């Protein structure tokens, strides 16, 4: 089994987290103003974070203008950081947390009444007390708050989750299990534990914590947009400190969590990723692509890919699988000219060591196996069409459907049947310990100046689903029926069915 999970892996224990909330760094926010200030010297923030494009973003904070700000967030270099303007607080992790496939558990614990400055602010990452420094000045000691300083947070001024209180600089990524504790400095061990394999996992902590007056606990189990117990920002601590919702909806409440980590797309040069790294866009004159965060060597797997903007008659969008993309970076090297598939460095020169299997929406419709091109008038693809992919690595077959109809590769017919294992789109080279397949897409265009865009669904869709279909294990939400025996790409399925 070969796949990328990063520093925070799927929990294998008795406590499961059901939901998380996906933020976009352009406008999505949760904001609340409290009736009275809480404890501004002693409080704790605990949350799991899955970063998106790694741009700087705010996990929580307050801002009223100028130097009147406090925030906890991530910097684009990978540091988790705490900053305050008026008193120059600057504390950041020395370690760089740059894995967009991982869930990181973060605890930011404050008690400015402590006599020792290093005890006044603590950052834990995945259960370990982090070494800290001044942001981006790794050899410089952190700037800690002075003793008994009242921080610019937990006031009546707007309090943001996934952003600062003014709504600026929202997070690009997802948050799960967001705790705010008013009046107590807790350690990471209050929220998680190491399992028998040494992996940091969450534990059921709610009933063992003292939340304080302004404390709250966001589980993201609701999908409403009102500031109440039915809203996305519902507080389930018992305090009813519910948050107002802006530019977040049912699609943003997802089941990609620290206890079931789903595939997304890896960050790639010249590809812009949004919506939790599930929407890719591109607007330059070469082929570029992105592949999934989880690679596969065995089992049966299903995912979907919607064509959002295929750029008219000169469209260039390709979906399928690639193998060993880091060793053979043929899906994003940009060496082809004007979208030339056969140019040196692109798919035309892929060897049997790194085969790729693709379907393209072009002026003519093609399937492509890395060395040969088949042009048999396959099903036309246009904007808003959904491609389905069923990868059978137990029998070395790959099936591709357009709007639910599977394409037989031998004749271009629509009689493929993944469940029966018949009339596959491709017979593929077997996966192995040295050949790992990754879901992928490539986009490009010729002389046009408009962009191409595509959206992925590995079980937590980035686009609206009109029907709703789970896999054989009851996991995921897909537009089309998942073939019997096939599974969405997530860590729970990988642990059970191979990968």
Q: What gap in Å lies between CA 220 and CA 33, rounded to an integer?
A: 19
* DSSP character at residue 163: S
Q: What gap in Å lies between CA 263 and CA 462, rounded to an integer?
A: 12
Q: Which helix (H) or strand (E) holds 496?
A: helix 491-497
Q: Which domains does the chain have, with CATH numbers?
A: 20-254 (2.60.120.200), 272-497 (2.60.120.920)
Q: Which of 43, 285, 20 is nearest to 171 (CA)?
A: 20
Instruction: Report yes or no: 274 and 170 within 8 Å, Cβ to Cβ.
Output: no
Which residues have CB under 8 Å from 474's CB, separation 6+? none
pLDDT tens per residue, the chain (499 residues)?
Answer: 233 343 344 444 569 999 999 998 778 999 999 999 999 999 999 999 999 878 788 999 999 988 999 999 999 889 999 999 988 999 999 999 999 999 999 999 999 999 999 999 999 999 999 999 999 899 999 999 999 999 999 999 999 999 999 888 889 999 999 999 999 999 999 999 999 999 999 999 999 999 999 999 999 999 999 999 999 999 999 999 999 999 999 999 999 999 999 999 987 767 788 889 998 887 666 667 788 999 999 999 999 999 887 655 444 556 888 887 655 444 433 333 333 333 333 333 344 556 777 776 554 445 555 555 554 556 677 788 899 999 999 999 999 998 999 988 766 667 899 999 999 988 888 888 778 999 988 766 555 545 678 899 999 999 999 989 999 999 999 999 999 999 999 999 999 998 6
Buried b (16+ CB within 10 A) or exposed e, 392-430: bbeeebbbbbbeeebbbbeebebebebbebebbbbebbe
User: Half-sphere exposure (CA, 13 Å, Cβ side) for 168?
Assistant: 8
Q: What gap in Å lies between CA 34 and CA 443, rounded to an integer?
A: 47
Q: What are phi and psi of 3, to 5 degrees?
A: -160, 160
Edge-to-edge strand order for the sheet containing 317-323? 288-291, 437-443, 317-323, 356-361, 366-368, 373-374
Q: Token pair 């990988």 is at which residue?
A: 494
Tokens of 498: 């191979």
Instruction: Report yes or no: 429 and 396 within 8 Å, Cβ to Cβ.
Output: yes
Q: Identify the three-state secondary structure at position 144.
A: coil
Predicted confidence (pLDDT) per residue in 398-438, tens digit: 999 989 999 887 666 678 999 999 999 888 888 887 789 99
């Amino acid at each position: 089994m070969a796949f990328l999970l990063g520093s925070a892996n799927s929990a294998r224990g008795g406590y499961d987290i059901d939901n998380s909330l996906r933020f976009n760094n352009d406008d999505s926010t949760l904001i609340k103003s409290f009736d009275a200030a809480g404890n501004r010297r002693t409080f704790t923030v605990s949350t799991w974070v899955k970063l998106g494009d790694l741009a700087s973003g705010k996990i929580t904070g307050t801002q009223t203008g100028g130097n009147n700000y406090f925030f906890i967030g991530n910097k684009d270099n990978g540091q988790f950081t705490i900053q305050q303007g008026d008193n120059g607080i600057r504390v950041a992790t020395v370690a760089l947390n740059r894995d967009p496939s991982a869930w990181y558990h973060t605890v930011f614990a404050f008690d400015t009444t402590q006599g020792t400055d290093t005890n006044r602010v603590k950052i834990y990452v995945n259960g370990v007390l982090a070494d800290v420094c001044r942001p981006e000045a790794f050899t410089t000691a952190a700037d800690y708050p002075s003793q008994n300083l009242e921080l610019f947070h937990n006031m009546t001024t707007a309090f943001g989750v996934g952003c600062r209180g003014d709504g600026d600089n929202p997070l690009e990524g997802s948050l799960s299990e967001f705790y705010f504790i008013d009046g107590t400095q807790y350690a990471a061990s209050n929220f998680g534990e190491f399992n028998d394999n040494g992996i940091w996992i969450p534990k059921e902590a709610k009933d063992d914590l003292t939340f304080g007056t302004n404390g709250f606990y966001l589980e993201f189990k609701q999908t409403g947009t009102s500031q109440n117990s039915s809203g996305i920002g519902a507080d389930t601590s018992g305090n009813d400190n519910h948050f107002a919702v802006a530019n977040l909806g049912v699609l943003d409440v997802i089941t990609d969590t620290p206890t079931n980590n789903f595939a997304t797309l890896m960050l790639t040069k010249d590809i812009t990723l949004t919506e939790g790294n599930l929407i890719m866009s591109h607007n330059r004159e070469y082929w570029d692509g992105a592949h999934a965060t989880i690679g596969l060597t065995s089992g049966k797997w299903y995912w979907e890919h919607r064509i959002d903007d295929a750029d008219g008659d000169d469209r260039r969008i390709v979906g399928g699988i690639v193998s060993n993309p880091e060793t053979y970076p043929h899906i994003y090297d940009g060496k082809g000219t004007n979208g030339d598939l056969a140019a040196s460095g692109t798919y035309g020169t892929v060897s049997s060591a790194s085969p790729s299997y693709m379907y393209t929406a072009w002026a003519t419709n093609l399937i492509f196996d890395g060395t040969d091109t088949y042009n048999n008038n396959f099903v036309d693809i246009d904007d808003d069409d959904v491609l389905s992919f069923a990868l059978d690595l137990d029998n070395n077959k790959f099936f591709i459907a357009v709007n639910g109809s599977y394409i037989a590769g031998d004749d271009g017919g629509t009689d493929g049947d993944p469940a029966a294992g018949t009339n596959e789109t491709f017979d593929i080279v077997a996966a192995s310990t040295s050949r790992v397949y990754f879901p992928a897409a490539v986009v490009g265009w010729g002389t046009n100046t408009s962009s191409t865009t595509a959206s992925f669904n590995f079980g937590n869709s980035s686009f609206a689903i009109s029907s709703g279909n789970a896999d054989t294990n009851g996991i995921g939400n897909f537009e089309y029926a998942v073939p019997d025996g096939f599974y969405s790409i997530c860590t729970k399925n990988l642990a059970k069915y191979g990968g």
